[in-house]
Amino acid sequence: MAPIVVDSLVDCAIADMNAGTIERVHVEARASNDSTAKAGVAGLVKLNQGTIYQCQSSLPVLATQGNSISVGKETKENYIGGIAAVSLSPSTTTMAIIEGCLVNASVNKADDNTTEIRGGGIAGLATGRLYNNTFEYGITVSQEPEFFKNIVFETEQSGVSAQGNGWPTEATNPTTEGGTDNVNVYSGTRYHAIIDCQKELDYVMKTSSFNKAGSNIRIAKDFAVDDNWTHGTLPSGDQYSPTASEDNVSFSLEGNDKTITLKGAMLFNHVMGEVKNLTLYVAKPLVAKPSIVGTSYTATDAMAPLAYAVYGEKAKLTHLKVKAADKTSVQAATAAGLVVWAYGGSTIEKCRVKVPVKMWLPTGVDSDSKRYAGGIVACVCQASVLECEFLGNGKEWVANADGSDIAIKYNNFYYGGIIGGAADKLKVKPEVTVKDCTSWYPDNEKISDADQSTKGSIIGLAKFSDNTSSSNAMAEGNEGNWWPQASAGTKTYFDTKEKAIGKRNAVEATYDNDF
């Protein structure tokens, strides 16, 4: 059966009242109208006095004002629910039933000024039977627990038999909801908090009980981060040692295959936990202007969509995607398509990026100072980059900024499709693992001898040099990488190219035009 698609504000999707059976119905919001397609009272019905069986709803229930529901001679005020606002047995011999239903949309009040609303992920007020239902969306971190519960907010004196119900949070609500023993049987990963907007991500970042190692946070829906976002700061000084702070991610963030739209700001400083299953959409250019103090270039400007760095043995980025609007790029002296730095034993795995990355340098830059730009990560010290893909985005994939020819004049500026270059960090020599990565950068013209800057499809600089000597910056056993046949996997290396990044993968890659 085709789903019932809602494309405007309605009280509920099916009926004011159900006294019979509603079975295996799926209600959803029209994707193109996600800002207006919602219910003000309930996902399916305002009042249930019959049976609702194995139904699903992904229609947000966001109350814009109070409501009154007539039940016989009584009136029930201000209840909302993911399936039914009110589910009451009509007599002592006939039971109201909601069984086997799934709700994966917010059940909340529309704004802080709305009249006091009492909501349940399945039903606001109930008697009868609530069996084997799942509120997949969950109560978010900013919803008041005294007004919102995962399954049922409140029961009447005759009570509810509630068994087999599940929701995705550890302790957002007690297991006793609405005066009934309602044990959470959710079989998936349990989370310490659910978030669905910039305000809630900001709250989690600033709250030590959430922003700590071992804390699991899940995103429930797509949202945007404005250019006034302040957590994507840069550390103070190259020898900065990251600690738990409100700008660093110490928790694990489950992206839940949702998208965060970036409107001009980098998302985080350091990621020291795990970020996974998330898409970043770069809606506006991400730009860090060259830093000049007096007449000196400070070399502190860096930019990437996700973070300045991923740091530590427990830090991991996996299954992340970066996409961009047309004519949008990441631009800085040190720039990357995902994250600027990877070090301290961290891992970047199964990430895909399609955004132009541009090195932007001031005219006063010291030509002896190394600078890096990378499709996935600009600089790597002790870290692994595995099974990642850089798809570029137009001709200027990883290059110098528009109107600037400074970078192409010197040999100390490095561009890489996957990694800009190996570099020391916190006085630790680099050891870079790069395996099974695919890079579509650059074409043959981009690495011609006329271009004095150093470019490699996989990595720009694959060796380490200090004041006394040079050595291999790459770990043993790098292999499985693919790049265009006419291009160089790396142009600056120690010993041999094969020692640095292995042989080119013989299995021809296929470009994903739909990414």
Identify the CA nearest to 88 among candidates 107, 69, 66.
69
Q: How far is CA 105 from CA 4, 59, 62, 384, in A?
A: 15, 6, 10, 37
Say how far apart CA 278 and CA 255 lie, in whole Å: 4
Residue 405 has pLDDT above 60, yes or no: no
Provide the sign of the torsion angle of the four alpha carbons 406, 409, 412, 416, taken in this order. Answer: positive
Per-residue pLDDT band at 445 (split at 50, 70, 90): very low
- 444-457 as b/e: b if 16+ CB within 10 A: eebbeeebebbbbb
> pLDDT over 70 for what percent of the chain?
88
Question: What pLDDT score was predicted for residue 92?
Answer: 86
Q: Name 86's bridge partners.
A: 47, 125
* 457: nearest Cα among 391, 361, 387, 382: 391
Range 272-285 average pLDDT? 98
- The pLDDT tens digits for 228-252 are 999 998 877 656 778 888 899 999 9
Q: Does 197 have pLDDT greater than 60?
A: yes
Q: How confident is the model at residue 175 (pLDDT cuts 50, 70, 90)?
A: very low
Which of 297-301, 332-336, 394-398 has the largest mean confidence? 332-336
Most confident among 176-190, 196-210, 449-463 (mean pLDDT): 196-210
Q: d(Cα 292, Cα 83) in Å, to the nearest integer?
A: 58
Is the pLDDT reported for residue 32 higher than 80? no
In degrees and rounded to multiples of 5, residue 204 shows phi and psi of -60, -40
Please compute the mean of the pLDDT values over residues 465-487 and round it to a whole number: 90
Q: What is the mean pLDDT of the chain?
A: 89
Calculate mean pLDDT across residues 273-286: 97
At residue 448, does pLDDT exceed 50?
A: no
The answer to whether residues 49 and 17 touch, using CB atoms and an 8 Å cutoff, is: yes
CA distance linking residue 183 with residue 94, whole number of Å: 25
Residue, of 366 and 482, whose pLDDT is higher: 482
pLDDT band at 447 (very low <50, low <70, confident <90, very high): very low
Give the model confidence (pLDDT) of 318-354 as tens digits: 999 999 999 899 999 899 999 999 999 999 999 999 9
- Of 435, 442, 438, 424, the closest CA to residue 380 belongs to 424
In a 13 Å sphere around the CA of 29, the CA atoms on its Cβ side amount to 25
Provide mean pLDDT across the span 100-124. 93
256 φ/ψ angles, rounded to the nearest 5 degrees: 60, 30
* Mean local confidence (pLDDT), 454-481: 91
Provide mean pLDDT across the span 187-196: 95
Mean pLDDT of 158-181: 72
57: closest CA among 110, 106, 125? Answer: 106
